[in-house]
Amino acid sequence: SSASYRVPTDSLSATLVWCCSDTDACRSLAEAAAP
């Protein structure tokens, strides 16, 4: 399946799907991923 962003691994994809249902987790994950 494709998305507007590229996902290098299925593991990360699963994390993004989970994160989409949790705003705080998504924000923390985004901040951790940001440089």
Domain spans, the chain: 8-35
Structure tokens at 23: 């705003």
Report the distance separating Cα 16 and Cα 5, nearest Å.
Answer: 11
Angle between the N-to-C axes of helices 23-33 and 10-19, in degrees from 0 to 180, rounded to the nearest 10: 130
Q: What are phi and psi of 34, to 5 degrees?
A: -70, 145
Kindly report whether the global pTM for this prediction surpasses the value 0.95. no
Token code pair at residue 15: 């994390």
Residue-wise pLDDT for 1-35, tens only, equals 444 555 455 666 666 665 555 677 667 777 777 76
The pLDDT assigned to 13 comes to 65
| Token duo for residue 17 | 């799907």
pLDDT on residue 1:
47
